[in-house]
Amino acid sequence: MNTTQNPKQPLYKELAELLRTSYISTAAEHAPLPTERSLQEKFGVSRDTVRRALNYLTLRGDIYTRAGSGSYVAARLNIHKTPRLTSFTEDMCERGHEPASATLECGLVEAPDAVARHLRLPPGAQVYKVVRLRTADGLPMAYETAYLLRAPFAQQAPHTTGSLDEQLTRAGYRIVSATQRISAHSLSATEAMVLEQPLSAPALAVHRVGFTGEGTPVEATTTLYRADRYDFEVKVEREGI
């Protein structure tokens, strides 16, 4: 198999990634994959390796299998995000997908300098840091790092499996506006592993600071969206027309 061997990664995962990037990502939805035998011959791997690679791709949602027929490219889960201020949970529910979260980190930390500036806090102030994997229909979509004011959670720490926006609203800190910056990002080893992407795969980094109606900043969030499952659409108009 003509691929860069990674001693830390099983061969079937290398094959799965090669199939995903060289065939699945460009093939039409529901297009058939080559047969197991042809994949064995093309890549010079065992039947077990091919089957494990296909099973891995099935679990990821990249392909599906029909008994007695073979494997096919699955319908793609692509989300088109508009400038309207919505949460991840709202975005997924509006599109008929099931949102969920897996908590990777949650606790009080000293606010990094940039976060303290965004939230207008003095140096050394503590904030809640919440790191989560956001999924839709069980598929990894985004790696989210949120820094939250302590005040809304004075009685109870954030409930990290639900919408943080909804919790802020219930606490009297409803976010009604936000500044947002979008940039390109190369996934780190940890981010790539969580999002089931190769190292340094491209992602859309969305940096958001959310404000209440009184203009109080309550959250500073960086969300890394899988570039193959998310895009942003912005309407622009020429002035004076």
Domain residue limits at 27: 11-73
CB 33 within 8 A of CB 72: yes
In a domain, 237, yes or no: no
Q: How many CA atoms lie within 13 A of 162 on its CB side?
A: 9
**CA 185 → CA 50, 81, 178, 218, distances in Å?**
32, 18, 21, 25
DSSP 181: E
Distance between CA atoms of 40 and 64, rounded to whole angstroms? 19
**CA 57 → CA 12, 14, 128, 174, 235, distances in Å?**
10, 11, 36, 40, 36
45 and 92 housed in the same domain: no
Instruction: Quote the pLDDT of residue 222.
Output: 97
59 and 87 housed in the same domain: no
pTM to 2 decimal places: 0.71
- CATH number for the domain spanning 84: value is 3.40.1410.10
25 and 106 housed in the same domain: no
- CATH number for the domain spanning 45: value is 1.10.10.10
132 and 174 housed in the same domain: yes
Question: Which neighbouring-strand residues pair with 202?
Answer: 186
**CA 114 → CA 19, 36, 147, 153, distances in Å?**
40, 51, 11, 21
In a domain, 212, yes or no: yes
164 and 189 housed in the same domain: yes
More confident residue, 15 or 74: 15
Q: How many domains does the chain have?
A: 2
105 and 163 housed in the same domain: yes
161 and 209 housed in the same domain: yes
Mean pLDDT of 217-235: 87
118 and 176 housed in the same domain: yes
Read off the pLDDT of residues 157-199 as tens digits, 9 standing for 90 and up. Answer: 888 777 888 899 999 999 999 999 999 999 999 999 999 887 8
Read off the pLDDT of residues 89-144 as tens digits, 9 standing for 90 and up. Answer: 777 787 777 888 999 999 999 999 999 999 999 999 999 999 999 988 888 889 99
90 and 121 housed in the same domain: yes
In a domain, 186, yes or no: yes
Residues 6+ apart with CB under 8 A from 136: 77, 79, 92, 97, 98, 99, 100
Mean pLDDT of 62-90: 76
**Which of 73, 93, 125 delimits the end of a domain?**
73
